Every structure is written in C-alpha cells, then in structure tokens.
Structure 1
C-alpha cells in the first residue's frame, strides 16, 4: 500500500523534524515491511499557477493541438503577464487554472523547459500533467486546479504539494487493518508513543428510518449492511485537488467525484464503499447466496455465470451486484445519476477470497474484504462519504439510514500476565503487557487464576479479527516493545546429539551421486492427473492414489506426488528449455503414499502439548511418507572432445546409479528384468534387496518421452531409500595387500537370460575369492545358433591372506562356470 506522509501526519502529533525515513524505520521496528520510500522530486526553476485566457485550435495536424494564451502573474507595474504555450491536451478551457513550467524550469527526470518553436508557433513554457510533475501516473490530460484555489503567478510547487513523500508498504494477510490511513497512523502512534486522532471518531446522527428496505438471508455471508441515500448530486462536479492529489500519490486514478469520494474514504478508514444509482434499483434489496444458473453482467460488461457459493445483492429483477467484488452494470452510476445510494457492508472474508479467485476480479476493495474489515466503521464511512458529497457535489442527504445486521463481537482472550516475558526471555517492566494491549485497542481486565497466577483478559477491538489466542497477544506485546530488545542467544548443543544413522546415510548417498556427476535439484512436490496419464499408469496403479492439497498453489497440480519422477522430469524439461542438453539430475525427498482408506487427521490445539494418546492418534492417521532417491539422465553421459567420441546416457547408467546408492548404503543390490510404467518394458530393471523390490531403473517408454517432449532414450531411476536395511555398526572394509588374478570367461546362454542372472550365478559359484565381475562384451551371430548370445566377463580374484596360485584361480573359474551352467544353462564359448 502507498500512502503519503502528509496524510499520516494529519492524524498524528509528530515533531516537526520527523522525516519519512524515520517513519519507515518505525514501521519496520513494529513488524511492517516497507518496500520503498519515495520523495517527490523537487522542481527547480519557475513553476507557477496560470489562468488560461484564450484557446486557439490549430488545424492541419494528425492530433489535436492548441495554442493557449496563459496569464502567469503580474509585472512590477501591476500589469498582467501572458505566455503563449502549445499544448496537446483537451481537458481544459478558457478560464481554467493550470500549472505552468516556465523556461528555465527542470521537471522530474531532468526534463528542462525552454522556449522553442513547434507546430508553427513559439511555445514559452509547458502546461503540466500529474505525471510530468511526478505526483502520479495520470497522463491523459493536464492538471486543472479548482477555481479560486490560487492567483495566477503563485508558486505552484507549494499548492500541488511537491514537498511530500510516499511510503510504500507490503501488508501481510493478518494485518488487513493496515490497508488504511487509520490503521497505519495508529501503528505509528504505538511505535513512536505520540498522540493519535482516530478519523473514524465522528458523530453519526440518529435516524432509525430505513432509506431502503434490506433483508439479509445469509447472515454468515454479511454481518452488517448500511445504506445512505443522497439526492441532487452533481455527477459533473470536479473532485477537489487535495483529494485528487492524495489519491494519485496512493496510486489511484481520479475518475469522478462520487467514485473518488468512495475511494478516498476506503483509503482513510479501510471500509470499501459502493455507489448505486438509486433510481435503477427495482424493489427491496436482498443479500443471499447465488442460485445455480443465475448470471450477472458486472461493471466491466462481462456476462458472468454465478456459483452457489457467490454472495450477491439482489433486487426484484435478480442479482445486481457481486458482493464485495464488483457491482452490476444495471445499477451503475452514470453521467446523469443524481440520486445515489452509498453502501458499506461487512462480508465474510473467506467467501470474498473465493469469489475473487473464482471470477478473477482482484481489486482494492476485495483486498480489504478478504482480510477482514472493521464492522463498526461501516456507518461512519457512509456518513463521511455523504458529507464530502454534500460539500463538493451539492448533494442533499435524504432522511433515513438503513443499518441491518449484528456483527459477532470479538471473543475475549485470557493469558498469564508473564507469558510475554517467558516467551521472549526478557523481564519487561511492570505494566508493559497491559499498556501495549491497551494501545492496540483491547479492553483489559486483570485478575488472578485459580492457581494464584496473574492473568490478563483482553477483548480485541473490532478491527483486529486476527487476535484469537494468547500467542497473538504475546506477539503484539513483543513487536511493540521492539524485537530488537529480545536477545539472540544460541542454545547450548547437548553432548552426543547429531545426525542419526538414516541422516548420515542420506548425506553419504547425496555426496556419492554428486561426486559421480549428478546435480541435485529441488523439484515441485505437486503433480496433476495429466502426468499420471502421460506415464501410462493404469487405473488400479497405487501411485494414482494421491492426496489432493486443500489449498493448492496451482489448481492443475494439486496432487501430492507419490513418486519423485514428475518433479525430476519437470526439472529436466526446464533445463532443456534453457539450452542444457547433457543432464544428470538427482533428488532425495519424501513421497506421500496414502492407504486405500485414508484416516481423518485430528486437529490438535496449541494451548498445551498434546497427550501421548493424541500424538499416537495423529501419527496413526498420517499416510506413509518414505524417503526416495531418484535420478534422470539425458544427452551424453561422457562428453565428446579432442579425446574422442562421447557416450550417450543409457539404461545401464540408471542401473549403475542404483548400485552406487546401494554400495554407499552398505547393502547388496540385485537386478532383474522388470516391467513398470513409465519405463520401457524391455529396458527396465527391477531393483531388489534381500528379494524385496526397492525400486526400478532403466529407459523411459517412448510414449512417455513423446508425451513429455523429452529427448530420446531419456533414462531414470527411483529407489526407496528407507526400504534399504540400516545397520547401526558397519564394519570397515578389508583391503588385501596381495596381488589380484584376472581371468576372462565367455559364456553362451539363451537370449532371455539376463546379464544380472548370469553375474549372480558366477559370483555364487566362485565364492569369496571373486572380488569383481565386469561384463565387457555381448555378441550374437549365426555361429552361436538361433536364440543364443555370448556374454564375456572379466573376473578379478584375490585372497586376503595369500597370493593365489594359477591352480587355485583355475578352480575358482571352473566352479563359477559350473554354477552358471547349472542355474541358467550357460556353456563356455569355443
């Protein structure tokens, strides 16, 4: 929110030397985030008020051009001084008061004004717009000052307020009351301990006669509704300059007097208002939820289908306004509207938030309603706007005021008097808690609990719906006392505490993958149904049974992922779109695997620690959340260069990543042929530990690659890290100092026999003396026979206590071949 410093100072007794920077520091000190402090750029040189004496329309140009004779003051002899100025704006006429920059003036941005010839005339200055003066963004026309506001030749800088500053703040969702001058000035009053004049402290005349009959059919949707009727309004009356200036500095464009007044009061008091053409309303007014099939044409001329959750204001013709979001076109204030109704209401914040997002209609009013508006200020806001229209729009306030609904008063909150001290670890002075809670508007009662402990009961003010529990009151005391007064003390680390075995294993796996050339990513943990469709998962696949987030960041990706692959492949796609072609990414993270019948998670309070029974019930209701490790590969695994051709990443690299994880975790991983979407059925490996499937690795199915627009032969691996056995004590590996013996063996097997099966057979037959088995060649040909293939392995043998003899090595080789023949029918290749 942008707010001029002069507007804030109007409601505070600030010392004269107070600067905008000191106010910004005060905001930050009490927990409000300041985005920027902007000082209006001073204009050097002559900037004066001018009166347009004559206007000559120049013809023969593509756009309107006018040559104006402008009175800019008087000479020493008392004669009127005139300047001829060329101007392209058309929103003024003879007699208008304008701001003139004379030759020698320098406008914001270093724009120097000089006398120059243009459009066939000599222009002796410039008539300025709001944007050219640096006090707003309106550039549709020049700035016209109200009649009689100044004499020609007067200093315009003082009149337009070029000595002001603007503070822009980022308001958090829990502090909706700060979307107003009233709320921000109160915060500064608390921070600086200066007197505060509440702009809502205005008298309201008693008038029980309704100006229009209003019925609230849904009091949860609308807790208060106020109408005030005005007649004889001059819709063409100009908005006073002081109001236009404040609106411009706050970032709101001036439109017309009725609209400007409602916007001004909204900024001042935080209560959005809506102006109706009273003559266009048909019958009584009803506030209710929309019915299925109802429609409404809103002020932006869009035909909108209403949802049964929408709150609407209706007359006898049906819905005429989308409550709190946008009015209807049928009751819009027009150029000839002189009989209007001013409306102020208090709407259900959650309903307004849903309506804004459903209809995609964000607005300044909706921003306030969805955070909560003070229900007590509705009548004051209407009266304030009505009196401004009487003063500047020649309106007459009609007899009667409609005021229906009874807002629920804030519930009192009780807490121990010493709770802020205990939470902050600071011993505050006696009476600080009561003082600070009183400052924010709470009604305070101090007493003693049954245990003899001093307690304070605070009834929050109507503008603070966020104060609902003791923690909220503690926060108010701490922030107003100053967070800087709370010492920063690091807690002592207890001896013996540190990472547990599972955390150490996760860290080791992460380092091992990074050392092997993989780059860690942190992908988005949510996915959508279309991803499961692209993966080719069947309807009964358990991975489809995903939990849906109640308030998802993206509607199309609202499922909590049951696998790491969607996020990893999305990260792969993003890198590919940025020109990276050779990629090896990994991620270690939790997935959520709910059961077929997910239990309802109990809601536990925060006033005290849950009991062991409540915690047990909570943990029992949570779905399984195992930690997985996943990798994806695309492009070259080994780069090409002057040293030779590179090597494309393949299914074997994905399997090797799984073996690396298993080796790092200290478990033995076995591999067999698998079939699990989204992997290619012929190039998918099933990863097993102790005959239990812990994951899959291999090349993705071509249809998946095509659907996700991935490079051909993209590979992936996903493994359940928590499913790997965790050993509390891992013995150090034994390193033999004796030389190894290397032997090669080529075996012929049936084509359906996998290399993993043959490797396991050789290892089981060779025994403990086999240190390593590596496949280095695969051959097929007519000489082997139909349906046969040859696999060549390099065997490395080593004994821990001696040098192996040739005879021992041969015996190990023969035993390994015999075991392979017995288990998979392998024969030595001749």
Structure 2
C-alpha cells in the first residue's frame, strides 16, 4: 500500500515529524517498507510560462524560449524538450537554484545563446520518473508562484507492508484511523454528504448470488464532460500513491478506492441494456475485460451482466465494451460489497491481479458502498459536471456480515502482556479504533466496526491494545525457573552418533524429498502398499517414499553425471507404508540408509586402486552395529528384495528379527536407472540400530589364554555366522574369542565346498586352563560343527 504523507496528515493531526511517524506506524504493525522524499529541495523553482518559442539559430534540436516568471522582463531559456511550446506552463529553475541531484543552475551560453535558468521535467525535480519532456502544469497555474507551494510539496511517497488480516489499512482513511488512535488526535473524515438528485434516471440491480454479493449501489450521472482534465491535486495524490492518472472518470474511482478503501467502477451507461444482474457465471461463458483480454469462465466466478451479456468480473475488473471513453456522456457508477470467499483466488486463476481483487479478497467494509458513491458523485460533478440521478441500493440484509461483540477480560490482558494497562487507556484505545465498548464486571465487551474483519476473539482485542499502547512499553523479562533438558536414555544411541559414525567412514549426509514419482517406484518394484498424495505438488512428487534408497540412488546418479566417480551418501529420515488390511492407516517409521560406488578408498599414493565390494559396505554397516555394544546380535542371511543382486545381498537381523538389507543393486535396476557402475546400498530401521546394550565392567583375567586352531571343510552355502554361533553355543564362557584367519575354495575341494581355518582363544577368569581343558573345548567345537554345519575336520 502506497500513500502520500501529506494526504494522511490532512485526514489526521499528527504531532511528530516524518521519521517518528514512520517508526510509530511500524511499531504498530504497519511495517514501513520504503519512504521516497518528494520535492525536498525545490527552493528557487517557480511556475513559468513560455510566452515565445523559436528554433535555436545554431542547433536543430534546441529552442530559444522566452519565459515569464513573475518578473517585469521574461527570461531567455534555451531548452531541448520536445514539448516546449508557446503557452505552456512548466517548472522553471532560476539562477542559483540547487537541484535535487546536486547540480547548481548557473547562467550559461548554449551554442552562442545565453540561457538564464532551466525548464524542468518531473524527473529532474525528483517528483516523478517521467523524463520524456517538460512537466506540464495546468493552464491556471499562477506564474511566478513557488512550485513547491503550488504542488503541495515537500511530501513523501510511503509504502507499507500489510499483513492479510489488515485490509482496513488498504486506504488512507484506514491508516488515518490507526494514526488517530496511536497519537490520540482528531480524525478528519473525508467529505461524504449525500448529493441531491437532480434527475430521475435510475438503473435497477438484482442480486442473484446470495451472500456472495449482499449489497449493490449505483447512480446515473448525465451530461458529463468525460474529456475534462483531472485536477492537479488529485493527479499528484494518485502518482504519489503509485497510480498513473488515466482520465477524469477513471481517476475519480481510483481516488475514492485509495481514500476510502472501496473499489468502484464506472460504466458508459449508453452501453448497458436493462437492469444490472450480479450472478454466477454460466459454464463456458466468455468475458472481455478492460485490458482487452478474453476469458472463459465457470460457475465459480461472479459476474456483472445485463440483458445483452457480461460487463465485468465482480470484484476483479470491468468489461471492455461498457468502459468509459472521452465520448461518454452518461456514466453509471457502481459500488458493491462482495464476500471475500467469492473473490478469493479467482483473479489468480485467470493470471490477473488487480487493486480491486486485492482488497475484496481480504475484506472490504460492507457499509462503505453508499458513502463511496456519494464521494465519487461529488468529485465527478466538480470535475466533469453533469446531472446526478438518485442513488439506488439493492441489499440482502440477512446476508450482510455482522460483527459480534467480543469479551476482553482484565486479568487475561494483564497475564498475556505482563503489564497492567489502565482501564481508561484500554477503553480509549478500543473506542479510538471505532469499537463500541461496554464495561463489564471482569473487563469489557467490544463490538468491532464493520471494517474490522479480523476482530473475532479475545486475543485479537489484546493485540489491538498492545500495538496502540506500544510494544516498546512491554518490559523484557527473563523467564523464571529452571529449564530442564531432555532426558536421554542410556540404552538408546542418539541419531547424531550414527550420523557422526558414517561421516567418519567417508559418507556425506543427503536430504532427499519425502515424495517420489510413480515411475521411479515401479522401476524399483516398490509401488505396492504405498501412500498416494491426494493433492501432489507435481506428478513427480505424487507418492510418499516407502524407502530412503530410491531418493539416495537418484542423488548418487546426479553426482555421477557431474564427474564424481567416488560417491558415498547417507540419509536418516522417515518412510511410509499403506498399513494393513485390518488397519489401513498409513504407517511411518524412521530409517537410516547409505549408498556407495566407485573406489574402495579415495585416490592416493599409498595404496593401489581397488573397486568397492560388498564387504567394504558391510564393514561400514558393522561399524554402526558396534556402537550398540551388541555387534554379535546382528547376523547376515543371504537373500533380500528383488532389486538387490541375488549373489551379493543379505538380510540383516538382530536377535533373529529382520531389521534391514545390505547388498549390490540388481544389474537390471542399474540399467533402468542409467548407472554404469556397481552400486552398494544398505537400509536399516533406526530403532534397531540405535538400541544399545549398557556396558558392564568386568575384571581382566589374570590367567593366560590358550589357542587351538581348527581347519575344516563345509558346504559353501553355510555362512560363517552359523559356524561362529555353533562354536560359541558349544564351548560356552571359556571361549574368549573366535578368529577366522583363512578361507579357501577351489578345484581341489570340489564344487560347493569351502575350507575355513579358525582360531579358538580359550581363557578362564579363575584358573589356568590345562591341556585337557583345551582339548575338551576343541572336541566340543568340532562335534558342534559336524552336527550343525555338516563340517568335516581336515587332517
């Protein structure tokens, strides 16, 4: 919202300077985004009139002008502006004037002709951006008068940033109301006396949209001069408010909107046929708007129509065919109240954004249309003449919005603000903001005015009190009492520990979207039992992710396409599934996942290049398991989902319960994802890998250990985890450690057979083991391997 500072000061007495005013508005919630000072250095600039204008004798593009400036003899001015002509009145900077850009005007000879000042454009004066020619002043501008005095300068164009709940401040009157309450000074309402009808012409209006348009006011004015020029004072206020003047009739409607906050429209009455109807658009109905654009509508739009067809989109923009032009003789003024819900989003749907839609979407005073018609009528009669007819009003009283009283408790006010505001001050503030206030035993009951759509609950009133009373008057106090930190159970690892461990293993953390495309999930064979979004941002983000891996692998592929040969990424995040037939509610769980490809170690001089393999990534996963103090509880079983390589995949279990997968991606999936290198992945439930066994302190045995080595053959399909588990179960507590120090498979052993060499480290905490003890433990281990793992001891 842009406005002229002088315009605001005309409507309310403001006892402070510009800087203090801007600070006070900002502190009251009307954030000042910018202030553009206008005409601050125009001493020496007067109204001049060109009384003679001739070509320069030595320059084709220059003219020699004689300019009357209030002195006995006209001044000779050399000017290059294309619109310099006899009879034109324009600003004249006299000798000795310092312009806003710092240039001092001096007597100078231009191509042999002495110039005694400078005729100015609006841009050179710092009051507008127009530099196309001299600033043209009205013919009645008094010659020799100070330009600043004539234009009402100095002034400032102020831009404020409003929150959506304050549409009442999208007008100078609304800002003046707030300023009046802030400074406790008088508010001077703009003129709004009813204009007596001098003719009988009327145009009826029917309201066929119910609560979407419960009030419609109109008036016919005959015999106007549509070519009349907009007065300078109005044009300047429009410019300083960010609106370019167009024509007298359009400028009046724009001016009233800026002044009172009520959007209006002027129709050429000769182009209307029969009564006005405010109704819903019919399917496929077409409207041509003021800007020349045509739009196909549906029944979600409100339209203004007559018997011939559509004449505009209600609350957005008027129609092209019934627009006012310089040939218009009779004008029909319209001011209506449209419900915010009926306008909201309609302009954006058509790619439009207008001042009217901006206001109606947020809420316009339902009591303002009649006053706006009267104000616009008076302005048009003063500028363009004419004969007004009676003001007509159609209203659905039951559908007009009503402001219900809101209770404000004294104790609640003090509790939320932390200070006591005097009862008299609370009542003054509420009444200054236009509310009807009734005292009650525990506080007040305030009925908001019709223009305050945002006052609905007690907290709204408290906000009004504190912003007018002054946020800076609320003391800053430190909170009392102790703040207790979160209690972190020792039996659970913090997520940060898991992240730090993977970072230490040369992984980088990634954050991927929680939404994936259907096509990607179909490639992964993960589309079953997923959670679909009912209103996705796009087709590529239509499904909640059932796994972290598709997003991570996509990130890996993006890095590979950017010449990153060695990539390691991990993510901790939530995944989603569709639930069960018994309970179809979506289920979410937290997972930790990693992806890796390229070399096993970064390129360096101390080691040979080696491609990453399954056991490198398994080592990374086992480093996570080690943090739980229960690494032995995790086991790897061959197998896994269909998207993993059948020969390089394992299901990971903890205490026999599946907690995730690890392995290489299937070659078919790599081809679908356009990846040309092996990619190894893992994904585990965070709950499983963050559950930690509490460490227990035990005395170190003072007795020596004994080692027995075993070499045996067994089927290739038997995993080493089963071998170690069988040995531990058979030997018991005497077994301190198991070491696998050799593995062999080859033609000497036959197909499907491997050879393992294992060292048993035996130790007792209370005595030295004898050879008989060691032989007995070895025999137990051999017997278990033979029976459980189908192993055969080698000689």
**TM-score under structure 1 length normalisation:** 0.77
> Counterpart of 2:465?
477
Closer/same/farther in 2, CA of residues 494 and 262 from structure 1, 3 Å limit: same
Closer/same/farther in 2, CA of residues 718 and 167 from structure 1, 3 Å limit: farther
CA contact (8 A) 2:276 2:306 kept: yes
> Counterpart of 1:168?
159
Q: Which deviates further from its counterpart, 303-312 or 456-465?
A: 303-312
Q: For residue 244 of structure 2, give the secondary structure of its aligned residue in structure 1.
A: coil
Closer/same/farther in 2, CA of residues 585 and 378 from structure 1, 3 Å limit: farther
Within 5 Å, give how 1:386-785 maps onto structure 2.
Answer: 386-406=377-397, 407-448=400-441, 454-492=442-480, 494=482, 497-501=485-489, 505-520=494-509, 527=515, 531-536=517-522, 541=527, 544-548=530-534, 584=568, 586-590=570-574, 595=579, 624-631=587-594, 638-641=601-604, 659-664=622-627, 668-672=633-637, 686-696=651-661, 718-722=683-687, 726=691, 730-732=694-696, 758-767=719-728
Q: Which deviates further from its counterpart, 234-243 or 575-584?
A: 575-584
Q: For residue 379 of structure 2, give the secondary structure of its aligned residue in structure 1.
A: helix
Instruction: Give, in whole Å, the separation in 2 of the partners of 1:31 and 1:182.
Output: 17
Q: Deviations over 1:708-760 (max 9, x none)?
A: 88896666655442466756x7235779699999999998965xx6xxx7242
CA contact (8 A) 1:50 1:71 kept: no
Instruction: Give, in whole Å, the separation in 2 of the partners of 1:386 and 1:425.
Output: 50
Instruction: Give, in whole Å, the separation in 2 of the partners of 1:813 and 1:139.
Output: 102
Instruction: Give, in whole Å, the separation in 1 of the partners of 2:408 and 2:779.
Output: 82
User: What's the CA shift for 1:13?
Assistant: 0.9
Instruction: Give, in whole Å, the separation in 1 of the partners of 2:382 and 2:721.
Output: 95
Structure 2 residue 73 is the aligned partner of structure 1 residue 79:
yes
Closer/same/farther in 2, CA of residues 195 and 583 from structure 1, 3 Å limit: farther
Q: For residue 266 of structure 2, give the secondary structure of its aligned residue in structure 1.
A: strand
Structure of higher CA gyration radius: 2
CA contact (8 A) 1:592 1:625 kept: yes
> Counterpart of 2:27?
29
Structure 2 residue 372 is the aligned partner of structure 1 residue 381:
yes
User: What's the CA shift for 1:2?
Assistant: 2.6
Instruction: Give, in whole Å, the separation in 2 of the partners of 1:650 and 1:102.
Output: 87
Match 1:302 to one of 293, 304, 309:
293
> Counterpart of 1:135?
127
Q: For residue 536 of structure 1, give the secondary structure of its aligned residue in structure 2.
A: helix
Instruction: Give, in whole Å, the separation in 2 of the partners of 1:19 and 1:241.
Output: 26
Counting matched residue pairs gives 780
Within 5 Å, give how 1:65-104 maps onto structure 2.
Answer: 67-74=62-69, 78-88=72-82, 94-100=86-92
Match 1:287 to one of 255, 260, 278:
278
Closer/same/farther in 2, CA of residues 319 and 829 from structure 1, 3 Å limit: farther
Closer/same/farther in 2, CA of residues 806 and 335 from structure 1, 3 Å limit: farther
> Counterpart of 2:17?
19
Closer/same/farther in 2, CA of residues 443 and 46 from structure 1, 3 Å limit: closer
CA contact (8 A) 2:286 2:295 kept: yes
Instruction: Give, in whole Å, the separation in 1 of the partners of 2:110 and 2:776.
Output: 106
Q: Deviations over 1:397-436 (max 9, x none)?
A: 3333334333121122224232111222323323443333
Q: Deviations over 1:66-93 (max 9, x none)?
A: 64444444486x11113121125x6x76
Q: Which deviates further from its counterpart, 301-310 or 166-175?
A: 301-310
Match 2:305 to one of 295, 306, 314:
314
Q: Deviations over 1:288-314 (max 9, x none)?
A: 223333232333333322233222222
Instruction: Give, in whole Å, the separation in 1 of the partners of 2:672 and 2:135.
Output: 58
Match 1:144 to one of 116, 122, 136:
136
> Counterpart of 2:320?
329
Gapped regions of structure 1 (runs ≥ 5): 449-453, 600-620
User: What's the CA shift for 1:122?
Assistant: 9.5
> Counterpart of 1:609?
none
Instruction: Give, in whole Å, the separation in 2 of the partners of 1:262 and 1:761.
Output: 88
Within 5 Å, give how 1:351-390 maps onto structure 2.
Answer: 351-390=342-381
> Counterpart of 1:252?
243
Instruction: Give, in whole Å, the separation in 1 of the partners of 2:699 and 2:224.
Output: 97
Instruction: Give, in whole Å, the separation in 2 of the partners of 1:121 and 1:822.
Output: 121
Q: Deviations over 1:432-460 (max 9, x none)?
A: 43333223222122224xxxxx1422211
Gapped regions of structure 2 (runs ≥ 5): none
Name the Cα RMSD after superposition: 5.1
